[in-house]
Structure 1
């Protein structure tokens, strides 16, 4: 049983949005996210990672399946920018309030335009970080998208 409530979970409780949590052992050396897949008993396409990007002084958030790669050109086009790039890791905490590996689209310091890989609409449930390394929050994708006022677009790299 989880010992503490993260800010993400408190925000969802406040909005009466149903969720479950799943804890896992965070592996700092596994940047692929495989360690999460192996521990949370969900399909890889149901686990989304949260990326924070910028175009000049415009910041945006993008959530894609954990094993996929973002296509920066597609995201730039979808968001109406000429180009976008990932923010520097040292800027993540001051900008969002989250550290790498614990970044959630829910409860950032400010509301940023948020984009989801459109395949999320095909899922019954999706997991994103609960705002702390080692905890995923699992909820209905439509509730998540509505809560962050997100848009669904095709933003992953296709072979």
Structure 2
């Protein structure tokens, strides 16, 4: 069911990783509008793609002081720093700077995908998205999302599932 990268212009590392792993996914594209940024990239995606914001996820990177961790939460919520720290056995967590997130993921802010990152980090997926058959995460650039079963994220990235959304 995967749509090949010819439709996206070129394969992002995220799409390449999903295809290589044989994950069943599809691509959802929309025209990114820089004037829409007051609401955030994920809310823009939900509105333009006509899906619930609870099913569109943002990929965030935090620093626990010992390691960096990727958190995946619905765009209509926030990442709970204490909860993600606890999920990975750390005492605390804080957001990394956009520059660090971009450097370590290889993606621009607003297009950071949990897949195909330059540096693989431990990943935690919020429990709330497990109720859905399909969720959307960034496909590696603004305006490009991948639609897949949340269990595939857990399997492919060896992600932990925990209550990390505030």
Partner Cα separation in structure 1 for residue 9 and residue 23 of structure 2: 20
Deviations 1:13-40 (A, max 9, x none): 1111111111112234235332111111
How far 1:123 moved relative to its partner?
Answer: 0.8
Partner of 2:38: 30
Deviations 1:84-119 (A, max 9, x none): 000011112221111100101111112211001111
Partner Cα separation in structure 2 for residue 151 and residue 31 of structure 1: 28
Partner of 2:153: 144
How many residues are paired up? 157
How far 1:50 moved relative to its partner?
Answer: 0.1
1:153 to 151, 162, 165: 162
Structure 2 unmatched ranges of 5 or more:
1-6
Partner of 2:17: 11
Partner Cα separation in structure 1 for residue 152 and residue 38 of structure 2: 29
Which secondary structure does the structure 1 equivalent of 2:140 belong to? coil
- 1:8-157 counterparts in 2 under 5 A? 8-28=14-34, 29-32=37-40, 33-157=42-166
TM-score by length of 1: 0.92
Partner Cα separation in structure 2 for residue 136 and residue 73 of structure 1: 28
Report the CA distance shift for 1:85/1:27 in structure 2 as closer, same or farther (over 3 A).
farther
Partner Cα separation in structure 1 for residue 96 and residue 114 of structure 2: 15
Q: Is the 8 A contact 2:80 2:165 kept in 1?
A: yes
TM-score by length of 2: 0.89
How far 1:77 moved relative to its partner?
Answer: 1.4
